[in-house]
Amino acid sequence: MPKLVLLLRIKDGIFFVQEWLDNVEKLVDEIVVVDNGSTDGTFEILQARPKVVDIARTEGFNEGRDKNLVYAMARKRNPDWCLWIDVDELFEPELTRADFDRLMQRKFVNKYRFRRFHFIDREHFAGSKARLHYSAGHDRVLWRESPSGYFEDFIIDSPMVKGISGLQINTDFRIKHLGYINKAIVDKKADIYRAIIPEKEETFQEMYLRDEKKIKWVDKRSSLKVRKLNWYLSCVRLTTLLPRAFNKVFRLIKTAFKKSGEPKIA
């Protein structure tokens, strides 16, 4: 069977870490961790779990640096596939390792993406049009390991892995994002971001999910409610295909014109 290694960057995740470990340990073979200076016992909990095979510590906030470091640690474990998921995110409970094995055994697919739902409390996720539009996208990734893979070196919000070419498939596997259910945690995260990019205050305020429409979460994947939601989100995603394709073509044309205007070096 393919070897699956999970990458985690974390700091002070005591509110979620036990639940997270119970959720992901049944799905992956090994976990590698970069701990960015936890002081709440998170480091010790992770260190004691047998599937956490490597753990390093860093100082100073730098997401790009830490993500590339933990990726380098994962590569030393010789994975066939890698997975990124944060400590405040849980895969829906009906998923099993067999589900992931079926994905990883497809020879011509190099990347799978998953949907995240932002939870207001333990029972409900945000269901406004804007939030569902966000969930229609897929922003967590399982990828076939390749030497070309990397994370962009941004201090904040270094996004999904880059450099993984080949066929990509968006799945209907769901992730419960619980990071917004605790105000104290949101306050702490907002303060970290605010110190780096204070001009994004409006974005920070969106993390509080004020006046959001509540939708009750259903665990059972085969339920009619879940099927209808997945169908709706797939339709929403389809409506974005043309604008995204147009933007991509526009960027390519812009880049080509820019290069054509550069002076030639003899």
Q: Grade residue 21 by pLDDT with cuts at 50, 70 and 90.
A: very high
pLDDT score recorded for residue 265: 46
- Entry pTM: 0.88
d(C-alpha 97, C-alpha 173), whole Å? 13
CA distances from 193 to 106, 159, 208 (A): 39, 15, 14
Evaluated on CA atoms 198, 71, 44, 119, the torsion sign reads: positive
Q: Is the pLDDT of residue 264 over 60?
A: no
Share of the chain above pLDDT 90, in %: 82
pLDDT score recorded for residue 257: 64
What is the phi/psi pair of residue 184, to 5°? Answer: -60, -40
**Average pLDDT over the chain, rounded to whole?**
92
Q: How many CA atoms lie within 13 A of 186 on its CB side?
A: 18
Per-residue pLDDT tens for 216-261? 999 999 999 999 999 999 998 888 766 655 566 666 666 666 666 5
pLDDT score recorded for residue 266: 47
